[in-house]
Amino acid sequence: MENTAEKKQKILSCIQPSGIPTLGNYLGALKNWASMADGYDSAFAVADLHSITVRQEPAKLRKQTLEMYALLLSIGLNPEESIIFVQSHVTTHAQLAWILNCYTQFGEMSRMTQFKDKSQTHADNVNVGLFSYPVLMAADILLYQADYVPIGADQKQHLEIARDIANRFNGIYGNVFTIPEPYIGKQGARVMSLQEPTKKMSKSDANVNGFISMLDDKDTIVRKFKKAVTDSEAKVRYAEGKDGVNNLMTIYSCCTGKTLEEIEKEFDGKGYGDFKMAVAQSVIDVLEPVQNKFNDYMKNTDYLKDCAKKGAEMAQRISQRTLDKAMKKVGFMQL
């Protein structure tokens, strides 16, 4: 995110290493990250600090962090052009989060809907990290003076609190932080569960047939699409009440670039069996190049670690400027 002759606006995206993302994550967001990186001064982080609000198995967390880093490169992000780093390798995130905690009101945090939801899901471990999670997210964003942050509907509230914290801090100390805006780029698809098409596709689904993992092999993808829920009409058309078929049409449209009307024409007079096989093949065609790159990267973990080290050094250098400025404004003694 260095200054260039023509100053680009800055954009930041973070993803937790909570297992391999789904087809829904890919078509909804990740697929667009590479093209987004081209137009902006961009930084991408594997947000492992956020992961430990839920108790993690250490070896598994390390493995998933490396895999997520490899996936970021596999979807087309270039470490020569974007800063791609692991959050815990950059000390400024936790430092600024503590400062911002002291400029965030208890009432603001207690109104966060995700905290309420996750407190119920993990009732045995409602920790302070889970409560102040949005402040760390605010630090992630504000450290890089990000102009834009791509967010899903479930993160809208978190970006709003980051803006509130930044405005409050700036109101006291002057212009320290850029006020981030939501990034509204090419709209990614909202992909639903293959088994319960009124619910979003999720890797935490108890039914493994409900989601496609980005690393599922061809046979698994075909098998899951064969089992996908449709309806009794046996007609490929997009309409209210046809949630299963609508979802498959959305996936096929995303993978092939065809419109819903073109898809209806293509499968006019054909049954759901043919349609499901075509959707499965279109998904295989989209995921296969990503999977091949991922497998190559995972055979060369030294390269991945070298990229992560360089990315962390760059992120540390850039974010340190913001942290130093904030610390000076607050009144910490400078050496």
Domain locations in the chain?
Answer: 10-189+300-330, 208-294
- Do residues 129 and 157 touch, judged by C-beta distance below 8 A? no
CATH topology for the 208-294 domain: Tyrosyl-Transfer RNA Synthetase (1.10.240)
Q: How many CA atoms lie within 13 A of 139 on its CB side?
A: 28
- On the 0-12 / 13-18 / 19+ scale of CB atoms within 10 A, 26 is buried
Q: Is the pLDDT of residue 268 over 90?
A: yes
Q: Catalytic pick from 10, 60, 116, 203?
A: 203
Please give the pLDDT value at position 190: 86
Q: Does the pLDDT at position 250 exceed 60?
A: yes
Q: Is 203 a catalytic residue?
A: yes
Tell me the H-state helices in the chain: 23-25, 31-39, 48-51, 58-74, 92-101, 106-110, 113-121, 128-143, 156-173, 218-226, 243-256, 260-266, 272-298, 301-330
Q: Which of 79, 80, 76, 37 is nearest to 286 (CA)?
A: 76
Domain 10-189+300-330 listed as CATH 3.40.50.620: yes
Instruction: Identify the bridge partners of residue 10 per DSSP, sorted by sequence position.
Output: 41
Mean pLDDT of 118-131: 79
Minimum mean pLDDT among 122-136, 155-169, 232-246, 255-269: which range? 122-136
Which member of 200, 224, 242, 276 is catalytic? 200
Global pTM value:
0.91
Among 288, 14, 270, which residue's Cα sits nearest to residue 152? 14
High-pLDDT (> 90) share of the chain, %: 79
Average of per-residue pLDDT across 183-189: 69
Rounded distance, CA 96 to CA 13, Å?
18
Catalytic residue among 10, 31, 118, 235: 118
